[in-house]
Amino acid sequence: MEPRRSQGSQIEECYASPQVSQATADTFPYPTKPDRRIRSNKGRSDDEGQEEPGGFINEDLRVGGPYLCSLPAVDGAVDLAGWEHLHRDHGQRVTLAIYSILDSANIDVDGVTFLTRKAMFDAEATPRVTAYISAKGKKGLGDDVSVEIIDSRPFEHDRFEAVEHTDAIHPVWVDICREIVDACDLTNWITLSCVRLSRHGEEESHPTVSVTVDKTADGDWRPARDTIAAILDRRGLHMVAVKFRRDAIAFNPPGLGNDELAPAALDGPVQIGYSLALRDSLGGGTFGGWIELQDPDTDQWRKFGITCSHSALPEGSIDTERWRWDGLYLSSETNAVTKLELDSPSSEDLQHHFNWHDKKIRETLKDPSFISRQTTLENGGFLSSTHEKIHQMTIEVSAVCEDKKQKDRLGHVFAASSQRVRPAVSFLSHLPTTMDWALINVPPNRIGDNKILSLGPTNIFHFKVAFKDAGLRSSGLSRKTINGTEVTLPTMEHQILDLPSSRYFPSSFSSLGDAGSLVFNGYGELLGLLLGGTERGGFALFTHIADLMEDIKAVTGAKGFRAMGDNWFDV
């Protein structure tokens, strides 16, 4: 196997702690700078994050080599082919030898396992056979087997909490955000926010400037970290930490692949919360709900479906590329009716659903009891009333499935913002906010209301309910190509923090495929339209209903905007 460079723990790229006391700084094993902030880089408190000779990595909570994949990692079983010796007595002898070595070093071992490891964020990574040692606290097994000794803490997820109004950074965050954006190279940045971060078991959380960087980027974030720390110190905010994390915003993933689509979702009024996608395409998003626009000439109200623009106008389609960047208002785009047809549920979800039912039907048609009943009927025999009903129902279900495969047509895109920015009306900021919405012209037989199914799938959340917002807004870093050059455009966005989760498994407010959902608070009040959330959990971004309303009225020329009916939102 071709050798690869070992990689540090990239969950946390780099970190600068709040200011510590002089006594703590004096006892820290590595030199601290005059600001008395303890720094780390890729899991190492010496702030270097470099590999040792031979490819070994020595982090605070993890050591190993000669190849060590970055975290988070995906585990797999060791194939018998080529590794038979690890599945026999030799593997047991090696395991016992490892226990003996670690015991002599006074290392408390929780377990030793042979498995394959590959980096989650590296699509081209080759799984590497590794002796995985869970311990509290380096011996080679040959060129083809790596060793990893790791504490459990790197797998713990951060707990996100809102910055309090009493925190010193709260009233000046917008100004600090401006300074950071102006002073730093924003290449490969995704979001910039200020939250309180802690780990499970920690009673106290600290306000932290948190920067999310592209999970596929490989960079040295220490200069930017130190620049941010200096900006904070100049304002006397010594107790605010700085952290760079590697992640991505899940905007436009594949369909949900749900077997349990309710019959009502396949015919009649389109159901809130189900998937949608451009006709016969992969990917997509969520059908968010219904809004109404008032015609400026007739004063009549007309109902439209709503979702995200990036869900209705996906990447990779030549027909939709211009509209993705320039937006769309159908009165000036007559050919959009045929090119921007949508399905709900999406073709991918629907095909998955029917594949599941087709399998069940095939199994039933091959069942000896069904064949026996069918033979009896063909020979002029009779069935009991119960058996006859069951038999007829099986045949009817098969026919209905075939019929419904042509009834998922949702309508076509009526207007779309494209993925652009505009000045916000929901908050004061020098930065604009993102517009990412699309209105859907739905045929009469599929028009519904903003109600969820009374009986349907148990594993679909039709609305996204935010019980706690982020306290401070997040700066999003969108990218656009201007004159052939990709530039970064800072924006200011509303964000929702995930609820506290278990130690190792985050509780994400926004799941894959949720973009385009309507967002409500715990009182049932409409907040806005969901844009997407971080893949590893933490927070989600949404467009505020006030900004959404103003932009839709500006694009369509509507006199009025109404959501959720007369009693919900009427401006």
CA–CA separation, 477 vs 197, rounded Å?
21
Per-residue HEC secondary structure of 29-41 comes to CCCCCCCCEEEEE
User: DSSP assignment, residue 516?
Assistant: T
Residue 423, token pair as written in the block: 């000045």
Q: What is the pLDDT of residue 455?
A: 31
Within 10 angstroms of residue 182's Cβ, the number of other Cβ atoms is: 10
Selection from 471, 401, 391 nearest residue 167 by Cα: 471
Q: What is the pLDDT of residue 238?
A: 92
- Which residues, 6+ apart, have CB-to-CB distance to 94 below 8 Å? 86, 131, 141
CA–CA separation, 307 vs 28, rounded Å?
52
Pairing of strands 189-198, 474-482: antiparallel
What's at 475, amino acid-wise?
A: S
Element (H, E) at 255: none
Q: What is the pLDDT of residue 394?
A: 57
Task: Say what angle helices 385-404 and 368-378 make with each other, to 10 degrees.
Answer: 100
Asked if residue 493 lies in contact with residue 478, where contact means CB atoms within 8 angstroms, the answer is no
What's at 17, amino acid-wise?
A: S
Residue 47, token pair as written in the block: 């702030």
Counting Cβ atoms within 10 Å, is residue 248 exposed (0-12), middle (13-18) or buried (19+)?
A: middle
CA–CA separation, 311 vs 309, rounded Å?
5
What's at 133, amino acid-wise?
A: I
Residue 561, token pair as written in the block: 């905007």
Please identify which residue in the block is written with the tokens 């590697």: 246
CA–CA separation, 25 vs 37, rounded Å?
8
How many secondary structure helices (H) and strands (E) does the chain include?
11, 31
- Which residues, 6+ apart, have CB-to-CB distance to 19 below 8 Å? 35, 36, 37, 238, 239
CA–CA separation, 248 vs 214, rounded Å?
6
SS3 479: strand
Task: Report yes or no on whether pTM surpasses 0.85.
Answer: no
Residue 525, token pair as written in the block: 């009040």
- Which residues, 6+ apart, have CB-to-CB distance to 332 below 8 Å? none
Element (H, E) at 319: helix 318-326
Instruction: Evaluate the CA torsion angle 511, 515, 517, 519 in order and state its sign.
Output: positive
CA–CA separation, 487 vs 491, rounded Å?
13
CA–CA separation, 90 vs 105, rounded Å?
23
Within 10 angstroms of residue 101's Cβ, the number of other Cβ atoms is: 14
SS3 302: strand
Selection from 547, 380, 553, 468 nearest residue 195 by Cα: 468
Q: What is the pLDDT of residue 399?
A: 58
Before 223, cis peptide (omega within 30)?
A: no
Selection from 266, 268, 218, 275 nearest residue 244 by Cα: 218
Please identify which residue in the block is written with the tokens 């916000």: 424
Q: What is the pLDDT of residue 2?
A: 42
Asked if residue 212 lies in contact with residue 534, where contact means CB atoms within 8 angstroms, the answer is yes
Selection from 173, 240, 161, 232 nearest residue 197 by Cα: 161
Residue 567, token pair as written in the block: 């009693």
Q: How far lies 428's CA from each of 211, 265, 406, in Å?
A: 22, 41, 48
Would you identify the CATH topology of the domain 175-249?
A: GMP Synthetase; Chain A, domain 3 (3.30.300)
Chunk the chain into consecutive blocks of 10 residues (it has 571) and report each block's average pLDDT, rounded to whole numbers.
46 77 67 78 66 56 68 75 63 77 73 76 71 60 51 64 88 89 88 82 81 82 92 93 82 46 60 71 74 90 87 65 64 57 62 61 66 68 54 57 56 80 83 87 75 37 40 58 61 78 58 75 80 76 90 91 58 40
Please identify which residue in the block is written with the tokens 């009024």: 269
Selection from 198, 193, 190, 192 nearest residue 161 by Cα: 198
